[in-house]
Structure 1
Amino acid sequence: MNSRPVPVAVEGLPDWGRCAVMGVVNVTPDSFSDGGHWFDPTAAVKRGVDLVADGADLVDVGGESTRPGAFRVDEAEELRRVLPVVRGLAAEGVLVSVDTMRAGVARRAVEAGAVLVNDVSGGLADPAMMPSVAACGVPFVLMHWRGFSHDMDSRAGYGDVVTEVVAELRDRVDAAVAAGIPAKRLVIDPGLGFAKEARHDLALVAGLPALRALGRPVLVAGSRKRFLGHALTDARGNRSPARDRDAATAALSAIAAHQGAWAVRVHEASATADAVRVAHALAQGREAAARRTDR
């Protein structure tokens, strides 16, 4: 009997038994698809609660845009944006992830109630990040990264993108373990849209089994990204705008869930929550049918 790829559980987080849904709250004025919508802390907390009501299992809060071409804000401003939202969501019983490249922000967010640190630089932007996460004792998401957003598109050179991303993520996993973070608390993310062209992103989605072979849970964060716009180009060459890509995001989520992703990170939770649950139900149905055949 062919068994389905079951997501690897993450120590320190619930085992949902299926692909989890991570909702996004961007507390920024300039994120690529929803910048400014949740910049007010009260609105951001409400947004996070609404995402959970729509089916998100946890909520990722970020105070610094990582869209292509974006420049960084300083740490004080990032803290000002993030901490009230993390604190407010934790008070509402929401499982909160903090999306940051700074050790200081990660530590303060964990103190405010965050249960996961999601670093798009994979610990490369701040040498203190991995030791700080190790000391905090929370799970850590390592994304594939080749440089800051203002010039990352110039770094999108690959011979074999899947092989190279897997190798670079393996190095990051080794570095995290050496810094004191237990392997069971590590999640990897292929970094869709970061120093990658649309063809690279599609190859990485198709190559998810090679990423899973690293033995760590995989987070797929493709919501509304450019490669989906490329895939949805119409006959006149017009690409769908970011906010019109939620149906495509749900389709991507179903594919990722089918391939054993631990979680998908999305801007709108409802359709994706349905998609991952349908993928899970179909997988269970296939297993039941295979068991009957084996009797």
Structure 2
Amino acid sequence: MTVRYCPLARLGPRVASEDDYALAGSAYVRFDAVTQTEDGQGGDVLRASSLSEPDRARLSAPRALLCGLALDRPRIMGIVNVTPDSFSDGGDVTTVRGAVARAQAMQAADILDIGGESTRPGAETVAVAEEIRRIVPVIVAIREAGITTPISIDTRKAAVAEAALEAGADMVNDVSGFRYDPELADLVAARAVPVCLMHSKGDPATMQQDPRYGDVMHEVLEHLAERVAFACGRGVARDRIVVDPGIGFAKTQAHNLTLLKALAALHDLGLPVLLGASRKKFIGTIGGAGVAKDRMPGSLAVALHGAAMGMQILRVHDVAETAQALALWQAIHRAE
């Protein structure tokens, strides 16, 4: 039996109460109660003070630094795709110079996420040599341009990640959660770099063909817990792991909305959480924006909801707009 706790997230300054705790070390989000489930069943509401000290600490303790960044506020991960076929910006960046210009325009980003293989629904696998050819010159050029922002390499492959780390990347973002290439876990452990493990099922080519779940949040949590255990078993330090619920990966619109409503449940894993929903199809469907690049307002709405649920990293295309929105959000909700 697996017992899990979903904090009931609240915004604003903490109050003088034994039940009031920062959510995952956040300076903006707190909780005073949780819902308890057993194997996904139930939903009893408990006061935070009634939890055991280990359970309460798992939900409230500050998360480890990520690439030197404190995670007491939402951090922005800016997307730089050097792919011809990504769902939103495929083909936008076709040269190294263009990639550097994109990175320079993302000066408000806390992390840059460089990707050389599209993992959109229906995408085909890119050969290792081609993926390396796309990303290594870009990472080298970004560093040569004097940009010191931490770089994440968005890849499922150990050989690609190794080449990226050699070129100057700082962390790995694996949408397969080490399922595609388990040797990537060994590389991350050996290099002692942070890694983001995402929930997904199947592969990009087939993942949107009638995905089904009994309880999507319960299944996502259990999958991520298993992937974290796998990573730790291969020598990856737990305090270097970030998790991602995989919005839009083997999920219907209903699945995405269910996950978004219950995002705070992911804090039960005791790890930083990345939310990547920027410009995705469900935003366009609900918001009436068929073209991905017209989904910035809806993406901001989802990002701010994520911030209110204590998400530590927001992976976005529209960096400047997200930074402005967060600045206002933080001014309104900053703890006294």
TM-score by length of structure 1 reads: 0.91
Task: Say whether the 8 Å CA contact 1:223–1:246 is kept in structure 2.
Answer: yes
> 2:105 is matched with which residue?
50
Letter in 1 for 2:250: A
Q: Does 1:79 align with 2:132?
A: yes
For the residues of structure 2 that align with 1:155 and 1:169, how far apart are their CA atoms? Answer: 21
* Deviations, residues 239-290 of structure 1 (Å, cap 9, x unaligned): 4321110111111111111111111001110111122233333332xx33xx
For the residues of structure 2 that align with 1:279 and 1:175, how far apart are their CA atoms? Answer: 37
TM alignment of 1:46-195, pairs within 5 A: 46-52=101-107, 55-91=108-144, 92=146, 93-154=148-209, 156-195=211-250
Task: Say whether the 8 Å CA contact 2:173–2:195 is kept in structure 1.
Answer: yes
Task: Say whether the 8 Å CA contact 1:19–1:261 is kept in structure 2.
Answer: yes
For the residues of structure 1 that align with 2:68 and 2:254, how far apart are their CA atoms? Answer: 33
Q: What's the offset of the Cα at 1:145?
A: 1.4
Task: Say whether the 8 Å CA contact 1:18–1:277 is kept in structure 2.
Answer: no
Gapped runs of 5+ residues in structure 1?
A: 234-238, 289-295
For the residues of structure 2 that align with 1:125 and 1:249, how far apart are their CA atoms? Answer: 28
For the residues of structure 2 that align with 1:141 and 1:89, how far apart are their CA atoms? Answer: 22
Letter in 1 for 2:116: G
Task: Say whether the 8 Å CA contact 1:18–1:276 is kept in structure 2.
Answer: no
TM alignment of 1:26-37, pairs within 5 A: 26-37=81-92
Letter in 1 for 2:109: A
For the residues of structure 1 that align with 2:331 and 2:218, how far apart are their CA atoms? Answer: 31
More displaced stretch, 14-23 vs 98-107? 14-23
> 2:11 is matched with which residue?
none
> 1:244 is matched with which residue?
294
More displaced stretch, 88-97 vs 188-197? 88-97
Q: Counterpart of 1:150 in 2: which secondary structure?
A: coil
For the residues of structure 2 that align with 1:11 and 1:232, how far apart are their CA atoms? Answer: 33
Letter in 2 for 1:211: L
Q: What's the offset of the Cα at 1:16?
A: 5.3
Q: Name the one with the larger helix percent.
A: 1
Task: Say whether the 8 Å CA contact 1:11–1:184 is kept in structure 2.
Answer: no
RMSD (CA atoms): 1.4
For the residues of structure 1 that align with 2:280 and 2:95, how far apart are their CA atoms? Answer: 24
TM alignment of 1:195-210, pairs within 5 A: 195-210=250-265
Q: Does 1:225 align with 2:280?
A: yes
More displaced stretch, 270-279 vs 200-209? 270-279
Q: What's the offset of the Cα at 1:3?
A: 4.0
Question: Which residue of the other structure, out of 290, 306, 314, is the alignment partner of 1:264?
Answer: 314
More displaced stretch, 28-37 vs 16-25? 16-25
* Deviations, residues 85-114 of structure 1 (Å, cap 9, x unaligned): 111223322211100000011111111111
Percent of aligned pairs with the same amino acid: 42
* Deviations, residues 215-244 of structure 1 (Å, cap 9, x unaligned): 0100000000011112213xxxxx432111
Aligned residues: 279
Task: Say whether the 8 Å CA contact 1:21–1:263 is kept in structure 2.
Answer: yes
Change (3 A) 1:16 1:210: closer
Q: What's the offset of the Cα at 1:28?
A: 0.4
Q: Name the one with the larger strand percent.
A: 2
For the residues of structure 2 that align with 1:155 and 1:89, how far apart are their CA atoms? Answer: 40
More displaced stretch, 30-39 vs 146-155? 146-155
Task: Say whether the 8 Å CA contact 2:67–2:150 is kept in structure 1.
Answer: no
For the residues of structure 2 that align with 1:142 and 1:35, how far apart are their CA atoms? Answer: 23
Q: Counterpart of 1:228 in 2: which secondary structure?
A: helix
> 2:33 is matched with which residue?
none
Q: What's the offset of the Cα at 1:14?
A: 1.5
TM-score by length of structure 2 reads: 0.80
Q: What's the offset of the Cα at 1:68?
A: 0.6
Task: Say whether the 8 Å CA contact 1:98–1:109 is kept in structure 2.
Answer: yes
For the residues of structure 2 that align with 1:229 and 1:4, how far apart are their CA atoms? Answer: 33
Letter in 2 for 1:50: A
